[in-house]
Amino acid sequence: MRKQLILMGVALLLLNAGISGCIHKETEPSKINQEKILGEWTENIPGTPIIVIMNFVTNTSYYERINETRIWGTYTMTNETIALQSGGVTNTFEYSFSNNWTTLTLLKTANKNIHLELTRQ
């Protein structure tokens, strides 16, 4: 009986550690994503003279330049989303990297029609 209790306790500890690891994995962005997003990204919006430049300066701050207007803000990342906060407004996007980490695609979670494809500069 005592052996069974010990085995049950060990099994519960391993299960708990496994579940905790999964939860942590979903809420924390990978180190690679945190490092790869840093730097300057540009998009020319087709059919308009608008050029969007996003520069992720540190692991929490960025600025966005649309033509000559510069807007500073902060951001937070998970493995699937990036939330951009600026001027009291938060916009959340699903993100993905492609083309050997040189293309950053942002798809707004609240309105799937808003889609940005930025190129690393």
Q: What is the pLDDT along the chain (121 residues), one digit of tens a residue?
A: 555 444 454 454 554 545 555 444 445 667 778 889 999 999 988 888 888 899 999 879 999 998 888 999 999 999 899 999 999 999 999 999 999 999 999 999 887 778 889 999 8
In single-letter form, the type of residue at position 21 comes to G
- Rg of the chain on CA atoms, in Å: 20
pLDDT at position 27 is: 54
pLDDT at position 115 is: 84
pLDDT at position 106 is: 92
Q: Which CATH class is domain 29-120?
A: mainly beta
pLDDT at position 104 is: 94
State how far the Cα of 42 lies from the Cα of 120, in Å rounded to an integer. Answer: 7
State how far the Cα of 29 lies from the Cα of 11, in Å rounded to an integer. Answer: 29
pLDDT at position 66 is: 87
